[in-house]
Amino acid sequence: MDDNRQIRDLIEGWALAVARGDLAGVLEGHGEDIVMFDVPPPYEGVRGLAAYRDTWPPFFEWQATGAVFEIESLEVTAGAEVAFALALLRCGTDKEFADNPANRLRLTLGLCRREGRWVVTHEHHSFPELDHAGG
């Protein structure tokens, strides 16, 4: 299996684990040194696998109110030892999509190959700001 396929499988498996609220599945293939820039604060990101893990239970609670979490598009750029990927996801409730059909979560991942396996060491999740003055 080539690198691109391995990475796609890892990311697609992760998104399915998120959607079913499977914390162990979400953590699989993630590095101890992961840095996540998440949708909520803190600005400086969440550092380390324990802190990353702690962000998911509140998300799952919100998701259980009726939100979907589905990859819509995924583009992987892989070298021999380092890769990155970008994705757009449907992440929200029916009401949010009714109010704003264009709504998508933007996701960027950074990956490293360690002991022969691809590992996610960075995630950046965001929604654009509809009313931002600069930046």
Contact residues toward a second copy (CB under 8 A) are 35, 37-45, 59, 62-63, 67, 75, 77-84, 86, 88, 91-92, 102-106, 108, 110, 112, 121-122, 124-130, 132-135
Rounded Cα distance, 75 and 67, in Å = 24
> Which CB atom, from 9 or from 127, has the smaller least distance to a second copy?
127
Q: Say if residues 18 and 69 touch (Cβ distance below 8 Å).
A: yes
Q: What is the DSSP letter of 35?
A: E
In the numeric block, which tokens belong to residue 52?
A: 């990353």
List CB contacts of 66: < 8 A, sequence separation 6 or more: 93, 94
Nearest distance from residue 31's CB to a second copy, in Å?
A: 11
State the nearest-atom distance from the C-beta of 130 to a second copy, in Å: 7
Q: Which is nearer to a second copy, 29 or 92 (CB)?
A: 92
CA 4/CA 72 separation, integer angstroms:
17
Closer by beta carbon to a second copy, 40 or else 116:
40
